[in-house]
């Protein structure tokens, strides 16, 4: 099964690049910049990755991002993730980054963008891994702060695919950012939004109806609203789900209780992703393997999840058709996929 999943061509649509910061790289960058981390060793830092909820994770996540100071740091971070993704059969990535986390520390939007994008262009040239880049609004900050981030992003319209919404969901409904996403739409940037992870199903509705989101990131709580479930299935609204993250942050007590299998059977366009893999114990392959084992997913179901990941991407229609044909033609004996 590991070999089958590893060789299955697939896209990753929900990964925060700051969340791929492994402790080893954090210490390396801290030493480079003369930063003293509040942990003595790599193992001490890794042991700190025990979270009771989303906010307890975000506290350490934002602290860790403090070692990212210059363009080369963002390049190294992204390069490391892309190497791992390629080794796990990822053919297309859509990466989130959080500009406000960095501009608040005096690191410019361009510094983060240029470092990340340089690594992405190298991976596309050297390995054929295609990509899209999505800056995200930190919803715990003000709408005016979000608008400033968007204004920083607009001069780089050709380098980004959409605008996202992430960070602590509770108490920060999508409607808070109505004007910001309206401005993004005017500039031709679609929306994607974290909703229905710790927030209620109503937040999913707001993301769809007010922000006009093309994808819902997480969305696990849609199951509490039957009418919403039917709408998501009917309209083929993708849900970018992150199984190991959901267990690590106590959204589900155990993976066997996760609803991704039930939603797949209901006809929703659900996908598997890693979210913040350095913190949650697994990259995309580990998420596929964990959910397969916990829920007993068949090879046909895993293949459908991979097809969904391509369908839900921002790839052009011709590229989607080629990759979905490659998935359909994929043989479990390790036959290589059709190149894009």
Side-chain-side CA neighbours of 117 within 13 Å: the count stands at 15
From 197, 198, 206, 286, the catalytic residue = 197
Residue with tokens 């598997």: 272
Note if the pTM is more than 0.85.
yes
* Per-residue confidence (pLDDT) for residue 141, from 0 to 100: 97
Question: What are the residue ranges in the chain where pLDDT is below 50?
Answer: 334, 338-340
Asked whether the beta carbons of 34 and 84 are under 8 A apart, the reply is no
Helices (H), 241-316: 243-248, 260-265, 277-280, 284-295, 299-311
CA atoms of 256 and 246, how far apart (whole Å): 12
- Please list, in sequence order, all residues whose beta carbon lies within 8 angstroms of the beta carbon of residue 25, skipping any fewer than 6 positions away: 76, 77, 80
CA atoms of 321 and 200, how far apart (whole Å): 35
Burial of 237 (0-12, 13-18, 19+ CB in 10 A): buried
CA atoms of 190 and 217, how far apart (whole Å): 14
Asked whether the beta carbons of 31 and 109 are under 8 A apart, the reply is no
| Residues constituting the chain | 340
C-alpha R_g of the chain:
19
Residue with tokens 């968007």: 150
CA atoms of 30 and 109, how far apart (whole Å): 21
Candidates 67, 75, 68; CA nearest to 95 is 75
Residue with tokens 């199903």: 201
How distant is the alpha carbon of residue 268 from its chain centre?
A: 18
Tokens of residue 243, six digits: 């199984």
- Assess whether 198 carries a catalytic annotation: no
pLDDT of 301-317, one tens digit each? 999 999 999 999 999 99
* Per-residue confidence (pLDDT) for residue 38, from 0 to 100: 83
Which residues partner with 195 through β-bridges?
A: 218
Strands, DSSP E only, in the chain?
10-16, 90-97, 130-138, 164-166, 191-195, 213-218, 239-241, 270-272
* Per-residue confidence (pLDDT) for residue 62, from 0 to 100: 76
Burial of 176 (0-12, 13-18, 19+ CB in 10 A): middle
* Per-residue confidence (pLDDT) for residue 55, from 0 to 100: 81
- Please list, in sequence order, all residues whose beta carbon lies within 8 angstroms of the beta carbon of residue 287, skipping any fewer than 6 positions away: 242, 243, 244, 272, 273, 274
- Please list, in sequence order, all residues whose beta carbon lies within 8 angstroms of the beta carbon of residue 241, skipping any fewer than 6 positions away: 14, 218, 219, 220, 260, 263, 270, 271, 272, 273
CA atoms of 88 and 99, how far apart (whole Å): 27
Q: In what order do the strands lie in the sheet with 164-166?
A: 10-16, 90-97, 130-138, 164-166
pLDDT of 25-78, one tens digit each? 999 999 999 999 888 899 988 887 877 777 877 778 777 889 999 999 999 999
């Amino acid at each position: 099964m590991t070999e089958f999943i590893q060789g299955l061509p697939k896209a990753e649509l929900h990964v925060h690049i700051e969340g791929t910061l492994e402790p080893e790289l954090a210490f390396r960058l801290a030493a480079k910049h003369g930063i003293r981390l509040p942990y003595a060793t790599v193992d001490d830092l890794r042991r700190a990755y025990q979270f009771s909820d989303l906010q307890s994770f975000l506290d350490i996540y934002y602290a860790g991002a403090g070692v990212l100071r210059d363009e080369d740091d963002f390049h190294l971070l992204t390069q490391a993730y892309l190497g791992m993704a390629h080794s796990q059969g990822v053919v297309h990535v859509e990466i989130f980054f959080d500009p406000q986390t960095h501009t608040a520390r005096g690191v410019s939007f361009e510094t983060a963008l240029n470092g990340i994008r340089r690594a992405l262009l190298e991976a596309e040239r050297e390995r054929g891994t295609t990509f899209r880049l999505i800056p995200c609004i930190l919803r715990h900050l003000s709408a005016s702060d979000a608008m400033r981030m968007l204004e920083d992003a607009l001069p780089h319209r050709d380098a980004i695919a959409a605008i996202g919404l992430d960070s602590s969901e509770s108490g920060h409904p999508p409607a808070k950012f109505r004007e910001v996403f309206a401005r993004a739409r005017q500039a031709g940037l679609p929306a994607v939004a974290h909703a229905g992870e710790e927030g209620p199903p109503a937040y999913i509705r707001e993301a769809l109806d007010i922000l006009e989101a093309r994808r819902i990131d997480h969305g696990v709580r849609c199951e509490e609203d039957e009418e919403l479930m039917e709408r998501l299935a009917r309209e083929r609204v993708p849900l970018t789900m992150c199984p190991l993250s959901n267990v690590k942050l106590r959204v589900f007590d155990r993976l066997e209780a996760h609803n991704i299998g039930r939603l797949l059977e209901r006809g929703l366009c659900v996908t598997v992703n890693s979210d913040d893999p350095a913190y949650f114990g697994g990259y995309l392959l580990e998420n596929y393997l964990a959910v397969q084992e916990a829920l007993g997913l068949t090879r046909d179901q895993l293949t459908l999840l991979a097809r969904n990941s391509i369908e839900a991407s921002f790839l052009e229609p011709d590229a989607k058709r080629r990759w979905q044909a490659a998935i359909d033609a994929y043989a479990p004996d390790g036959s290589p996929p059709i190149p894009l």
